[in-house]
Structure 1
Amino acid sequence: MTPITLVEGRRIALSNLDKVLYPETGFTKGEVLHYYATVAGPLLAHIHDRPVSFLRYPDGPDGQLFFTKNPPPGTPDWVRTTPVPRSEDLSAAQVVVADLATLMWSANLVVEFHTPQWTAGHPALADRMVLDLDPGPPATVVECCAAALWLRQRLAADGLHAYAKTSGSKGMHLAVPLEPAPSERVSAYAKQLAQEAERELPELIVHRMAKALRPGKVFVDHSQNAAAKTTAAPYTLRARARPTVSAPVSWAEVEACRSASALVFLADDIAPRLARDGDLFAPLTDPERARPLPGTGTGAGAGARP
């Protein structure tokens, strides 16, 4: 019999709690749910008011993986959704993980959480920019850290603050809080930045996706700023061999990175990090940290929300 758990007044059926999802470490579905409950505060803050896409892996990372934007079949009527029209479906909607009950219902599906760079009700109006640093073997996160430090300095020259997190896979993500600006303008700026990085550091960085160009270099993927694209959320688990997390890191940790395993964080590592450092990505949720995209000015105008 599937146990029913009461979360914030909502009845949620949590199934197969003893099922091992990460065979390499024996990490179970119950532990996945416990992890998401533990990080609910900062995770909910970062996905607040954003339509969520799910990468589901109900049989673990070695089983079937499928990406879904539409609310899954059986979505409770109390789960908030928001319209996200798409060219192939103008009536499309997506889940908004607005509270702990929705988070635990979602986690029971065994998911990675992915969000766009804009919030519900303001599609294609980005309030953050993301650069995905993806190492081409034999490059590792060590090279990603070197690229991240250059990009941080370059962004600072434009008055922008960058914050780093692991991807939970091989690379890193840099996130920049912005005063809202059209996604296409953010995308254009991100692409120019990646191109400049390649010109300045041609032995380290490449801005094009072609695999033939990437061995030993860091691909600075600017494409996730397109309105239709999403990025793994801070604190989401990843469908990898072990229960790795897309974990915020300090710039001191980035500067000290010397090995491929230096910035690998598992689910059990996150609560102690939060207790010690707090949420290193908290500035992304602070409107006072947002800065205008270069060339867009400040205040009301093309980039401002209505």
Structure 2
Amino acid sequence: MPRDRLLVTIGDREVEISNLDKVMYPSTGFTKGEVIDYYTRIAPVMLPHLAGRPVTRIRYPDGVDAPHFFEKNKPGGTPAWVRLENLPVPGSTKSRETIDFVVVDELATMVWLANLAALELHTPQWRIGADPDLLVVDLDPGAPAGLRECCAVAVLMRDRLAADGIAAYPKTSGRKGMQLCCPISGTQPSTVVADYAHRVAEELATMVPASITAKMAKQIRPGKVFIDWSQNAAAKTTVTPYSLRAGSAPTASAPLTWDEVTAMATGDHPAEQLTSDTVLTRVDTHGDLLAALLQPGPAVPGPVDLIPRAAR
């Protein structure tokens, strides 16, 4: 075996890793070895959020400043022990099209993908063979709005969802904005969940039109926070909790406490994305702040339930 390649044993799996000194994040010098180390250390809290979900990867073979590509199908040379699920592609123009998705249900698979420079892992709101068990509210700021403005909208959204009995848990996107993740029953199709998210997004946009929009047109987003309700469509994926992001620095999609979100919204705490080192330290302190997402939640209200009682 070449000197730049190593064969490591993880459980009863053998995983080949290579080029550990290759720089993935040039502005900070963060290497592929450090990427693998991060995913190995974050695995205890990240793997439960990946379990049972097909994974879309974004790979950066030569680092974040070089060309990258999205990958859904299994890559060439996939080890025989990696779990694969042959699934239809939601939203495909060919209704019967299926591909072999990778499912990350053990540390060895995570390390194997990290070695392939799959810096970002994205998952749908549903587990294989089931309806959505998560509702996701994606808050995307249009400059000059930023994470601070997203936090202010997040508090409004949290309170609105709570009125329907739905608990929301915040995390940074690792890029510009943030998401609210809400455990739901897993008994309703994605169309019902997306419709509910759309209705609530429109409601908030009507309440605060100067700061919030629920419309996708990019020309109306500057200075506003776009509530992207469409993330709940069956074909969509969201960055998985704790995944790295491919920016100038190795930030990660990191859970926050609501006290932190409120402090960021008011300017009492810096509104900033969190780096891999900080995320690992926070996990040591807090454990998994998103553990509640692993338990079932309530059903989302249907259209009639959103009509005020006096108007029915």
Provide TM-score, normalisation by structure 1.
Answer: 0.93
1:149 to 2:155 alignment = yes
Correspondence for 2:254: 247
Aligned to 2:29: 26
Give distance in 2, aligned partners of 1:105 and 1:264.
Answer: 26
State the Cα distance separating 1:90 from its structure 2 match: 2.5
What is the alpha-carbon distance in structure 1 between the residues aligned to residue 41 and residue 63 of structure 2? 20
Partner of 1:302: none
1:102 to 84, 106, 109: 109
1:303 maps to which residue?
Answer: none
Structure 1, 25-34 or 267-276: larger mean CA deviation = 267-276
CA distance in 1, matches of 2:204, 2:285: 33
AA aligned to 1:84 is L
Q: Which residue of 2 aligns with 1:238?
A: 245
**Equivalent of residue 208 in structure 1, options 199, 204, 215:** 215
**Hey, what's the Cα distance between the residues in 1 that align with 2:288 and 2:221?**
33
Q: 1:268 aligns with which of 264, 277, 281?
A: 277
Question: What is residue 58 of structure 2 aligned with on the other side?
Answer: 55
The Cα offsets for residues 89-142 of structure 1, whole Å up to 9 and x where unpaired, read as: 6331200001011111111112210000000122xx110011110100000101
Work out the CA distance in 1 between the residues paired with 2:112 and 2:255: 24
Query: What is the alpha-carbon distance in structure 2 between the residues aligned to residue 266 and residue 47 of structure 1?
Result: 20
Q: Report how many aligned residue pairs link the two structures.
A: 293
1:295 to partner: Cα distance: 3.2
What is the aligned counterpart of 1:36 among 31, 35, 39?
A: 39
Mapped partners of 2:99, 2:31: distance in 1: 33
Aligned twin of 1:280? 289
CA contact 2:184–2:298 (8 Å) conserved in 1: yes
SS at match of 2:47: helix
Q: 2-side partners of 1:243 and 1:60: how far apart? A: 11
* Distance (Å, rounded) in 2 between the aligned partners of 1:261 and 1:209: 28
Q: What one-letter code is carried by the residue in structure 2 that aligns with 1:99?
A: E
Give, as a single letter, the amino acid of the residue that structure 2 aligns with 1:75.
T
Task: Find the residue that maps to 1:84 and give its secondary structure.
Answer: strand
Q: What is the deviation of 1:275?
A: 1.3
Q: Secondary structure at the match of 2:137?
A: strand
RMSD over aligned CA atoms reads 1.5
**What is the distance in 2 between the residues matched to 1:135 and 1:82?**
35
Q: Using the aligned pairs only, state the percent identity.
A: 50
- Structure 2 unpaired stretches of 5+: 304-312
CA distance change for structure 1 residues 241 and 261 in 2, over 3 Å: closer, same or farther?
Answer: farther
Which secondary structure does the structure 2 equivalent of 1:53 belong to?
Answer: strand
SS at 2:18's partner residue? coil
Residue 136 of structure 2: aligned partner:
130
- 1:301 alignment counterpart: none
Q: 1:217-272, CA deviations, whole angstroms, 9 ceiling, x for partnerless residues?
A: 00001111100110000000001110000000000000000289523210111121
**Residue 122 of structure 2 corresponds to residue 114 of structure 1:** yes
Pairing partner for 1:83 from 86, 89, 108: 86
2:70 is equivalent to residue 67 of structure 1: yes
After superposition, the C-alpha distances for 1:52-108 in whole angstroms (9 at most, x for unaligned) are 000111211111111111011111111001121134363312000010111111111
Partner of 1:217: 224
Name the TM-score, length of structure 2 as normaliser.
0.91
